[in-house]
């Protein structure tokens, strides 16, 4: 009996030693792959410009940047357009968050406006043009559809077109604006002419 007790104590002691030497279990959650935004790098930056052509007169400001470990593209937009005989004054601030569509290829942009609307767009990228087509959303404008088109016209320049479709009506160009990259580095000043040597 005494031998059995001693043997049991030895086994318990050995088990404690093995438990102490066993490394702790580390639980890791696998992360989704980082989206590839390389085809969209030309739209990143701070942009500003004015509308042109037959668009209502106005100013457009836009900031587009990678954020959160380069997993999201964040949009900040400010749009102000004067009233016309056919259109009311338009003023909007909006925030957009774009990432890879988890259900398939492409990108999804969710836009939150200071008007209270929340819309969803699917991005299509083709040779220097990015088209955002509205695909519903949590609270889109009732009956209306919108489309934003970014076209790269030159280095540091883009043409932004906002198209709108009223209920049961085709799309029309609400405005077009030529935007340039804000805060672009100015050309360095020419060096001052060298002074002649004096004796």
Q: What is the pLDDT of residues 82-109, one digit of tens each?
A: 988 877 888 999 999 999 998 877 899 9
Domain membership flag for residue 98: yes
Output Rg (C-alpha) for the chain, integer angstroms: 29
Q: Is residue 144 part of a domain?
A: yes
Instruction: Give the whole-angstrom CA distance, residue 31 versus residue 112.
Output: 26
Residue 166 lies in a domain: yes
Length of the chain: 199
pLDDT of 184 strictly over 70: no
CATH number of domain containing 121: 2.40.128.20
CB within 8 Å of 110: residues ≥ 6 apart = 96, 97, 98, 118, 119, 120, 121, 137
Spatial CB neighbours of 187, under 8 Å, sequence gap ≥ 6: none
| Residue at token pair 């909006």 | 94
Q: How many helices (H) and strands (E) does the chain have?
A: 1, 10
Q: Name the residue with higher pLDDT: 166 or 17.
A: 166
Q: Is the pLDDT of residue 55 over 90?
A: no
Which residues span the domain enclosing 80? Answer: 38-181
55 inside domain: yes
Share of the chain above pLDDT 90, in %: 65
| Residue 148 pLDDT > 90 | yes
- pLDDT > 70: percent of the chain: 82
For 82-196, list the strands marked E by DSSP. Answer: 90-100, 107-113, 118-126, 129-134, 145-154, 157-165, 172-181
Over 60: is that where the pLDDT of 77 sits? Answer: yes
Residue 20: pLDDT band by 50, 70, 90 thresholds?
low
| Number of domains observed in the structure of the chain | 1
Q: Does residue 66 sit within a domain?
A: yes
Q: How far apart are CA 151 and CA 171, in angstroms?
A: 18
Q: In 3-state terms, the chain is what percent helix, strand and coil (to 5)? A: 15, 45, 40
Cα–Cα distance measured from residue 39 to residue 180, given in angstroms and rounded to the nearest whole number: 19
Give the whole-angstrom CA distance, residue 79 versus residue 48: 10
Task: Judge contact between 79 and 177, C-beta under 8 A.
Answer: no
Of 90-104, 141-155, 183-197, the range with the lowest mean pLDDT is 183-197
Mean pLDDT within 138-148: 95
Residue at 74 is within a domain: yes
Q: What is the mean pLDDT of the chain?
A: 84
Does residue 80 sit in helix, strand or coil? Answer: strand
pLDDT at 105: 76
Mean pLDDT of 145-170: 95
The reply to whether 95 falls in a domain is yes
Region 45-65: mean pLDDT is: 93
**pTM over the 0.85 mark:** no
Q: Is residue 65 part of a domain?
A: yes
- What is the structure's pLDDT at 5? 46
The SS3 of residue 137 is: coil
pLDDT at 103: 81
Instruction: Write down the pLDDT at residue 87.
Output: 76
Measured distance CA(150)–CA(162) in Å, rounded: 9
């Amino acid at each position: 009996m005494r031998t059995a007790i001693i043997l049991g104590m030895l086994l318990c002691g050995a088990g404690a030693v093995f438990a102490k030497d066993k490394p702790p279990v580390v639980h890791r959650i696998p992360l989704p792959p980082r989206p590839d935004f390389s085809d969209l790098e030309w739209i990143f930056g701070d942009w500003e410009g004015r509308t042109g052509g037959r668009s209502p007169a106005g100013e457009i400001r836009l900031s587009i940047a990678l954020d959160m470990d380069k997993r999201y593209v964040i949009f900040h937009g400010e749009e102000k357009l004067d009233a016309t005989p056919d259109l009311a004054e338009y003023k909007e601030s909006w925030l957009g968050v774009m990432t890879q569509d988890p259900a398939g290829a492409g990108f999804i942009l969710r836009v939150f406006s200071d008007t209270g609307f929340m819309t969803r767009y699917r991005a299509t990228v083709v040779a220097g043009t990015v088209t955002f087509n509205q695909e519903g959303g949590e609270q889109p404008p009732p009956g209306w559809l919108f489309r934003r088109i970014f076209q790269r016209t030159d280095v540091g320049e883009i043409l932004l077109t906002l198209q709108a479709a009223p209920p049961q009506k085709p799309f029309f160009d609400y405005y077009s604006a030529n935007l340039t990259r804000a805060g672009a580095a100015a050309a360095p000043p020419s060096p001052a002419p060298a002074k002649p040597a004096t004796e």
